[in-house]
Amino acid sequence: MAASNATSVFISRIRGLPVLDAGGDQVGKVRDVVIQRRAAGRPPRVKGLVVEQFARQRIFVPMGSVQRLDAVQATVSGPVNTKRFERRESETLVIDDLFDLTVDRLDHPESATIFDVAMRPARTLEWELSEVALRLGAKPGRFSRRSNHTTIVDWSTITMLSVDHSQGTEQTLAQLDEMKAADVARELHEMSPERRAEIASALDDGKLADALEELPEDEQVLLITALDPDRAADVLEEMDRDDAADLIAELAPELAEVLLARMEPEDAKDVRRLLNYAEFTAGGMMTPEPVILPPDATVAEALARVRDVELTPALACMVYVCRAPLETPTGRFIGAVHFQRLLREPPSTLVSALIDSDLEPLSAGGNLHAVSRYFATYNLVNAPVVDGEHRLIGAVTVDDVLDHVLPQDWRGTQLDGLAAASPVSRG
């Protein structure tokens, strides 16, 4: 995406500009700009443009689709989603909400009125608010510039705005209910901490657990500590055991023990066992709930197990054959069978006859380097982990490995990128 230059663009000057698609046809005209507030004093991010079509219907165009924006026109790439624009709870419209709004200044004792707002390119596919044009004293009509007391200041010099969106929590929850976990996490990530805690407290336990797994660690900690301990324990029970263990390991020891004590005993037992392993080892990365079958199980039984909708694709791609007991830690680990091999064999075939004899299990103490080399060598997305007695104690999936290989803040960076660039439906 390119702007006419790298300087700020005042939003009143792009209002009414024609918006053209990749073929040069006019889609509509710029009606407003959608922004989203961010925490830690960062300027609000520009999510996209509200474009008014010829039938006066308003649609949303994400900034990631805007290839060029100058004083003449805006050009967008890719297909244009013609679904009617509906503002979300966490969003603000610059013209409708901010123009003529009275704000306090941090660098001046006198309050002022906004009469224009500027935005600028911040990085690839992302824009943010940069400056605010203020009028001191009396408040004239909208878009009027006739005043002897005007000034342009950096966005950081005014207090964070509080705008009534006239949308309640119920509508936000209804929107989130239709989203995938990563999209719910993106919405929570973009909310102010106060709003995030409010919405999280109202989300279903399972929905919140799935979203928590997609959030950066620091935001996971803030959310779980803001919940009532009983509710927090319920949410941890809904999370994957390895993710729950990773989160609990980041909490203060006193709080961690309180939450573990309030979890169901079997769930807490699994988490406590995972906490015994160092973070960057196979034991620290594994989940204790892979698909486990006895030696006399058939292909039909194995396929029925991997059809379970609760299984992630990574866990469903491998079944493990073990002696009883069949819960981790199991009896002696016999071997692993690939899902694709199951698909090629008759339903009555015993899974023990299909074991990959070339696949050696990981040891619980294997470090991250050894685990990542193992996955690369065998081209796997799921690998068995055994203890010193050759009992299966869990399985490491490739997403667990990537969580530890990627930079610590990768989830926050990814969510910022998705929010800036995603052209998908807004729910």
Single residue among 219, 250, 276 that ends a domain in this structure: 276
Which pLDDT belongs to residue 3? 43
- Are residues 209 and 108 part of one domain? no
Tell me the mean pLDDT in the region 142-166.
65
**Quick check: is 197 in a domain?**
yes
Whether the ω angle into residue 140 lies within 30 degrees of 0, i.e. cis, is no
- Are residues 222 and 139 part of one domain? no
Provide the number of structural domains found in the chain: 3
Tell me the mean pLDDT in the region 121-146.
71
Burial of 54 (0-12, 13-18, 19+ CB in 10 A): exposed
- Are residues 179 and 118 part of one domain? no
Contact at 8 Å (CB) between 423 and 81? yes
Whether the predicted pLDDT of 146 surpasses 80: no
**Quick check: is 165 in a domain?**
no
Q: What is the CATH number of the domain that holds 396?
A: 3.10.580.10
Higher pLDDT, 55 or 277: 277
Q: 84 in helix, strand or coil?
A: strand
- Are residues 8 and 117 part of one domain? yes
The answer to which of 103-117, 246-260, 376-390, 410-424 has the lowest mean pLDDT is: 410-424
Output the pTM of the full model.
Answer: 0.56
Residue 109 — pLDDT band, cuts 50, 70, 90? confident
Which pLDDT belongs to residue 144? 45
**Quick check: is 253 in a domain?**
yes
Single residue among 246, 276, 306 that ends a domain in this structure: 276
Residue 145 — pLDDT band, cuts 50, 70, 90? very low
Higher pLDDT, 112 or 320: 320
Task: Report which residue type is found at 176.
Answer: L
- Are residues 4 and 152 part of one domain? yes
Chain segment 315-363, per-residue pLDDT in tens? 999 999 999 999 999 999 999 999 999 999 999 999 999 999 889 999 9
Which pLDDT belongs to residue 6? 54
Q: Look at residues 393, 381, 380, 375 and name the one whose alpha carbon lies nearest to residue 333.
A: 393
Average pLDDT, the chain: 84
Q: What is the CATH number of the domain that holds 20?
A: 2.30.30.240
Q: What percent of the chain has pLDDT over 90?
A: 46
Higher pLDDT, 407 or 211: 211
Whether the predicted pLDDT of 41 surpasses 50: yes
Chain segment 296-315, per-residue pLDDT in tens? 999 999 999 999 988 888 99
Which residue is it, tokens 């719910």? 184
Angle ∠(418,14,150) on CA atoms, nearest 5: 110
Please name the helix (run of DSSP H) or strand (run of DSSP E) that holds residue 135, with its range, or none: strand 126-136
Tell me the mean pLDDT in the region 122-139.
79
Single residue among 234, 254, 276 that ends a domain in this structure: 276
* Residue-range definition of the domain harbouring residue 97: 1-157
- Are residues 318 and 257 part of one domain? no
Contact at 8 Å (CB) between 207 and 236? no
- Residues 329 and 276: their CA atoms lie apart, in Å, by 14
Contact at 8 Å (CB) between 316 and 308? yes
Contact at 8 Å (CB) between 15 and 115? no
Backbone angles phi, psi at 226, to 5 degrees: -80, -15
How many CA atoms lie within 13 Å of 288's alpha carbon, on the beta-carbon side?
27
Which pLDDT belongs to residue 2? 42
Helices (H) and strands (E) counted in the chain, each on its own, are 16, 19
- Are residues 227 and 249 part of one domain? yes
Q: Look at residues 388, 424, 187 and name the one whose alpha carbon lies nearest to residue 283.
A: 388
- Are residues 307 and 392 part of one domain? yes
Q: Look at residues 397, 408, 337 and name the one whose alpha carbon lies nearest to residue 372.
A: 397
- Are residues 120 and 4 part of one domain? yes
Which pLDDT belongs to residue 5? 42
**Quick check: is 291 in a domain?**
yes
- Residues 207 and 173: their CA atoms lie apart, in Å, by 10
Pairing mode, strands 362-363 and 333-338: unpaired
Q: What is the CATH number of the domain that holds 187?
A: 1.25.60.10
* DSSP state string for 6-56: SS-EEGGGTTT-EEE-TTS-EEEEEEEEEEE--STTPPPEEEEEEEE-TTS
**Quick check: is 47 in a domain?**
yes
Centre a 10 Å sphere on the Cβ of residue 142 and count the other Cβ atoms it contains: 10
- Residues 17 and 395: their CA atoms lie apart, in Å, by 55
Q: Look at residues 8, 12, 9, 6 and name the one whose alpha carbon lies nearest to residue 114.
A: 12
**Quick check: is 423 in a domain?**
no
**Quick check: is 100 in a domain?**
yes
What stretches of 352-391 adopt beta strand conformation (E)?
362-363, 382-386
Q: Between the CA of residue 360 and those of 357, 377, 383, 401, what are the distances in Å?
A: 8, 11, 9, 18
- Are residues 149 and 212 part of one domain? no
- Are residues 197 and 107 part of one domain? no
- Residues 213 and 228: their CA atoms lie apart, in Å, by 19
Backbone angles phi, psi at 408, to 5 degrees: -60, -35
Contact at 8 Å (CB) between 315 and 287? yes
- Are residues 52 and 35 part of one domain? yes
**Quick check: is 427 in a domain?**
no
User: Which tokens is 344 given?
Assistant: 């090629």
